[in-house]
Amino acid sequence: MAETIENSEVRRKADEFLRIFRSAVRKAQAKNRRLGVPNVYWLNGVRYFELPNGELSRTAPEPQRPHI
């Protein structure tokens, strides 16, 4: 029984960490979109770029010069 309680505590902590990590990723993605920085994803070994306009591309976008 002690092992079951320990396993449920480990599962609860893992779920909490996942919630925190997912929230951090969503915030970073939103910040990138706001700043016009592409988000990069890997799916089945293929790299995809989410461009600022929401379009997905397998080609890396040209670097943009900062607007000063």
Residue 50 lies in a domain: yes
Residue 35 lies in a domain: yes
Range of the domain at 31: 2-57
Residue 43 lies in a domain: yes
d(CA 48, CA 59): 7
pTM attached to this predicted model:
0.73
The string of pLDDT tens digits covering residues 13-60 is 999 999 999 999 999 999 999 999 999 999 999 999 999 889 999 999
d(CA 29, CA 39): 6
Distant-in-sequence, close-in-space partners of 37: CB < 8 Å, separation ≥ 6: 52
Output DSSP code: residue 58.
Answer: S
> pLDDT tier at 3 (50, 70, 90 boundaries)?
low
Q: Are strands 56-57 and 39-43 parallel, antiparallel or unpaired?
A: unpaired
Count structural domains, the chain.
Answer: 1
